[in-house]
Amino acid sequence: MPKVDRLKIGSANRNRIRPKRRACPGFRLGLLSGLVLTLCMAPASAENVQSVRLGPDGRFFVNGAAIFPIGYTSGPTLGAIAPTGRDGLAELKREGYVFQLWYCPPHTWGPEKEAQLDSLVKLSETQGTRLVISIPDLQAIKPGDQAKIAELQRVVKKYRNSPAILFWKGEDEPQWGHYTPEDLRIYYQTVHELDPNHPIWITQAPRGTVEQLRPYSQFFDIGAIDIYPISYPPGTHSGIANKNLSVVGDYTRIIADATDHQKALMMILQICWSGVTKPGKTLRFPTFPDERYMTYEAIINGARALVYFGGNVHGCWNDFDTAYGWNWTFYDRVLRPVLDELRPDSPLYPALIAPNSTLPVKVDGAGIEYTVREAGDFIYILASKREGDTIEATFSGLPPNVTGGDVLFEAPRKVTQEEGRFIDWFGPNEVHAYRFRRH
């Protein structure tokens, strides 16, 4: 992973120095669609850029502070209002360090799309939300295509210093889309040469083996896989034998192995997707227990950020959602209760941004997956159960100087540990988050 240097700068949006346009000769650029641009803008000020660093353990840091990013592909459109009466993007921001993907459909990048992006960047700067820019026309550039290289350089220079920018998005699902790893090289090198403060994110499809995916990892900093297992019949999106909810954990491990555990990981999880909305398909959504399990399953297996896909899929909207232009029904009933557990003011959040612990905790229980984190005076164990029977699992290896045993978000329930050992029940696809205090 290339080093992303941290730039020590302020972050107050209200003090941002806005760039002034300057007179300069325009240039002509032929895009895939044949659009011609005549654009020239002075570089933005670097005063309030968000400097994003990825730790060697995969954690995300912004201006030196550890964060757990939550993203949407995509969020409400520019100017859309949530049912609360607030701006839609501002409403989502209440759940933490929030970003959304801005996606320009292939063969459409030009002045009109750039003006839309400019407006969204301006709004995001004002309200403190973050953006990831994805322009497919500029992602898989062949050697010698100087026009596209020049346009990518211009775009990166224009937006790199905006405090709204969090990452850059590279080619989507390149292995499944039959792009070679080399097709990603020019984008990766060009962005990093011009912008040392924002890493590059690539999402792979739930297809391909670890060995097939591994060569792509040299050309991204943040690896992800999208996996949407909720459908009729179950698991039609999965490309491996496991069609159950636990496939989320399987694919998290696959992308981790494909990067040799050297990259930051995100997982793209389901709100709704085309596989349940196309003709002949039956619409199906995750329930709260489904969404909660998938969320924790990704975290337990190594994800240090999460993205939720499909709030903008029209085929998944009811009349209420159609009126507001986003799937607020699912958000209010299912997703927000899950994200409430991951908020920065949640009792769990210190564990989400902490490194993995080296404590010798072990578990005796079929299908139990877990991770251990330490933050301040607390030890956390996040544990989930794959499909199968309801069981009692035995955890051991906690240090002797711990008390408590809160089961977070299940109050007043607790577990009792003796000599570093405790027992608890798990049903299929059930999650428990434990917190113990050191003396």
pLDDT tens digit at each of 439 positions of the chain? 333 333 222 333 333 333 333 333 333 333 333 333 333 334 455 678 889 999 999 999 999 999 999 999 999 998 899 999 999 989 999 888 999 999 999 999 999 999 999 999 999 999 888 999 999 999 999 999 999 999 999 999 999 999 999 999 999 999 999 999 999 999 999 999 999 999 999 999 999 999 999 999 999 999 999 999 999 999 999 999 999 999 999 999 999 999 999 999 999 999 999 999 999 999 999 999 999 999 999 999 999 999 999 999 999 999 999 999 999 999 999 999 999 999 999 999 999 999 999 999 999 999 999 999 999 999 999 999 999 999 999 999 999 889 889 999 999 999 999 999 999 999 999 999 999 999 8
The CB density around residue 202, as the number of other CB atoms within 10 Å, is: 27
List of residues 6+ apart from 62 with CB closer than 8 A:
50, 51, 52, 53, 97, 166
Rounded Cα distance between 303 and 223, Å, is 9
Q: What is the pLDDT of residue 41?
A: 38
The CB density around residue 108, as the number of other CB atoms within 10 Å, is: 15
Which tokens go with 407?
């089961």
Q: What is the pLDDT of residue 44?
A: 52
> Could you tell me the residue ranges of all domains in the chain?
13-346, 362-438
Q: Coil, strand, or helix at residue 198?
A: coil
- The kind and range of the H/E element at 126 are helix 111-127
Cβ–Cβ under 8 Å, residues 201 and 166: no
Q: The sheet that has 52-54: what strands, in order across it?
A: 52-54, 60-62, 65-67
Say if strands 52-54 and 60-62 run parallel, antiparallel, or are unpaired.
Answer: antiparallel
Cβ–Cβ under 8 Å, residues 177 and 171: yes
DSSP 37-70: E----PPPPSTT---EEE-TTS-EEETTEEE--E
Q: What is the pTM (predicted TM-score) of this model?
A: 0.89
Q: What is the pLDDT of residue 46?
A: 63
Q: Where are the alpha helices (DSSP H) in 170-246?
A: 185-194, 210-213
Which CATH architecture fits 13-346? Answer: Alpha-Beta Barrel (3.20)
Say if strands 378-385 and 431-438 run parallel, antiparallel, or are unpaired.
Answer: antiparallel
- The kind and range of the H/E element at 157 are helix 146-159
Which tokens go with 86?
């607030």
Q: What is the pLDDT of residue 45?
A: 56
The CB density around residue 327, as the number of other CB atoms within 10 Å, is: 26
Q: Coil, strand, or helix at residue 10?
A: coil
Q: What is the pLDDT of residue 49?
A: 87
Rounded Cα distance between 163 and 13, Å, is 7
State the amino acid at position 209 in one-letter form.
T
From the list 387, 383, 390, 389, the residue with the least C-alpha distance to 405 is 383
Q: The sheet that has 362-364: what strands, in order across it?
A: 362-364, 391-396, 422-426
Radius of gyration of the chain (CA): 22
CATH of region 362-438? 2.60.40.1180
Rounded Cα distance between 165 and 122, Å, is 11
Rounded Cα distance between 59 and 2, Å, is 15
